[in-house]
Amino acid sequence: MTAAHLPHIPERFNISSYFLDAPAHRWPDRTAIVGEPHPVTYAELATLANRFGNALLSLGCERGDRILIILPDSAEFIAAFFGAAKIGAIAVPVNALARSSDYSHYLSDSAANFVILHSSALSELAAALGDSSPPVIVLAGDEFADSLGLHLLKWSELVYSTSPQLAAADTLSTDTAFILYTSGSGGIPKGAIHQHKDMLVTTHSFACGVLGLREDDITFSVSKLFFAYGLGNGMYFPFSLGAKTLLNPGRTKVDTVISMVARHRPTVFFSVPTFYAAVLAEAEQNPAVDFSSIRLAVSAGEMLPAEIFKRFRRRFGLEILDGIGSTEMLHMFLSSRPGAARPGSCGFPTPGYQARIVDQHGADLPDGEIGNLWVRGASAFAGYWQKPELTSLVMRDGWVATGDKFIREQRYYRYCGRSDDMMKVSGMWISPMEIENALLGHPLVLEAAAVARTDANGLTHPVAFVVLRAGTGNPAHLHHEISEHAKSRLVPYKCPREIHICSELPKTATGKIQRFKLRSSGS
């Protein structure tokens, strides 16, 4: 970050003091969480975080201990996260809907000292633990559930018996505050280490510098809090201004989200491309779908197809601000700007961030050439937890190699896919996004993914997988129709040789399409 765009970062800084205690002191009775299931004020939330921090201290928690948080989006999640950070421990939030194999990885990789667990995930965690010696486990939710042979501490008994007062640990801005696991779109999740200062940097750059979030905003993030994108959208961005957040503790379902938008009237909506497509599909069936309260719609996770951008603007009168961030950089480093969004582009660097498109040797490429995206900014991760060799492969002299292919045209950046998603056909590079966008132009195609396949002669060609809109009927006759549609929009070598109609596409918990699974599938 340049000096002009770098916020003042004091040497001693604690995210809990800044993002929770400060607004609670200034606006104690102001609503922090609109729902659900009920409103929570800033004072109530800060008190809950203090009680949780004191509970950890009473259990012998020390600075640097890892606290694995397996909770749905809720006041308890936020209290656990900030309560851990406030005492100098390290919050490690993960998906509350994951499987035992995932939890086994998170436990062994982070060497978590404590687990804060919702009862709905108890059976999966128990299976992950097996016969190993478990860490201290605090159970929230239905606290009368079968303990499955584990010694459990009850959230209500533990947390509400402690003091509501807690002084923040004297942490440095460069101390480790939390670890976020990558979504695993291309393999095993890795833990990215983030420092106390990083949230302040991304708030200044994106929440204020791009979105211009306001004190009277209500943010609603479809992406959950355990994901880097959702953590900013649904927690520390609104809290930095004393604004409100709308949380959905349940599974992300399009009808639930549409209902919540209608009832709570959020003003800033954060989602991923696949969910915007689902909202459009629902709106086409139900003209009453109402997004009139939304003043800003934001997308990330994958490139937003131009077709989705155009259809959403026609239906709701909103331009979707597409951007790209990463777990390693914590939030957005490229973003479209309000009033200047271009279909198919994720804009240009956010304030204070730099981006380069380079070849395989790290040499800069000119506009119009596809290359590897490297980024630099003050929120960059400190490294992968316990993986110094992998860290050295990703961090290059202050730059972070994102693993994404990009092209820059007239200062606008366009995402071409993950490096291992790119296809070389007839000696020319093809982005899967170009094929997918052409397929999405067909009125019956809801979702699309394109991957490379190698035939018996060793030649590479594109293959497409599509999900049809509900109520389409027998899809057998549509293969030819969709293929002809693609041929009318793509040059021959980019046209998919095969089109497979499927019920769903494999995705990570954060909504990214797992193309590596499609490449290895039999059909």
Nearest alpha carbon to residue 157 among 51, 65, 251: 51
Question: What are 343-367's pLDDT values in tens digits?
Answer: 999 999 999 999 999 998 999 999 9
| Residue 133: per-residue pLDDT | 75
- Between CA 417 and CA 265 the distance in angstroms is 34
| Residue 349: per-residue pLDDT | 97
- Between CA 445 and CA 321 the distance in angstroms is 23
Residues of the chain with CATH 3.40.50.980: 15-193
| Residue 425: per-residue pLDDT | 75
Q: Does the N-terminal peptide bond of residue 481 adopt cis geometry, omega within 30 degrees of 0? A: no
What is the dihedral angle through the alpha carbons of 281, 282, 286, 291, rounded to the nearest 10 degrees? -100
Highest mean pLDDT among 95-104, 164-173, 477-486: 164-173
- Between CA 182 and CA 288 the distance in angstroms is 37
**Which H/E stretch holds residue 249?**
none
Q: Could you tell me the pLDDT band of residue 459, with boundaries at 50, 70 and 90?
A: low
Q: Which two tokens stand for residue 181?
A: 């696991």
CA distances, 415 to each of 149, 369, 432 (Å): 49, 12, 10
Give the CATH superfamily of 196-376+398-419: ANL, N-terminal domain (3.40.50.12780)
- Between CA 374 and CA 324 the distance in angstroms is 12
Place of tokens 């209902």: 259
Q: Which two tokens stand for residue 275?
A: 């969910």
- Mean pLDDT across the chain, nearest whole number? 91
Lowest mean pLDDT among 40-54, 126-140, 275-289, 498-512: 498-512
Question: What are 291-323's pLDDT values in tens digits?
Answer: 999 999 999 987 888 999 999 999 999 999 999
Contact 128, 100 (CB under 8 A): yes
Helices (H), 130-253: 155-159, 196-202, 228-231, 237-241
Give 15-193's CATH code, choosing from 3.40.30.10, 3.20.20.120, 3.30.379.10, 3.40.50.980.
Answer: 3.40.50.980
Going by C-beta distance under 8 Å and a sequence separation of 6 or more, which residues neighbour residue 523? 500
- What angle is formed at CA 376 by the lines to CA 374 and CA 381, rounded to 5 degrees? 100
> Domain 422-520, what fold?
GMP Synthetase; Chain A, domain 3 (3.30.300)
Q: Which two tokens stand for residue 465?
A: 């997988």
Going by C-beta distance under 8 Å and a sequence separation of 6 or more, which residues neighbour residue 501? 465, 466, 467, 468, 475, 478, 479
Helix (H, G, I), strand (E, B) or coil at 422: coil
| Residue 474: per-residue pLDDT | 64
- Between CA 61 and CA 113 the distance in angstroms is 8
- Between CA 232 and CA 227 the distance in angstroms is 9
Q: Is the pTM of this model over 0.95?
A: no
CA distances, 371 to each of 350, 429, 462 (Å): 20, 10, 20
Mean pLDDT of 372-385: 97
- Between CA 506 and CA 523 the distance in angstroms is 13
Contact 399, 375 (CB under 8 A): yes
| Residue 428: per-residue pLDDT | 65
Residues of the chain with CATH 3.30.300.30: 422-520
| Residue 3: per-residue pLDDT | 45
Going by C-beta distance under 8 Å and a sequence separation of 6 or more, which residues neighbour residue 369? 357, 407
Residues of the chain with CATH 3.40.50.12780: 196-376+398-419
Q: Which two tokens stand for residue 104?
A: 């086994």
Mean pLDDT of 8-24: 97
| Residue 71: per-residue pLDDT | 97
Taking each helix axis as running N to C, give the angle between helix 478-487 and helix 432-440, from 0 to 180 degrees, rounded to the nearest 10.
120
Quickly list DSSP for 222-235: SS-TTSHHHHIIII
CA distances, 230 to each of 95, 180, 272, 331, 509 (Å): 12, 12, 10, 9, 12
| Residue 132: per-residue pLDDT | 76
Displacement of CA 345 from its chain's centroid (Å): 19
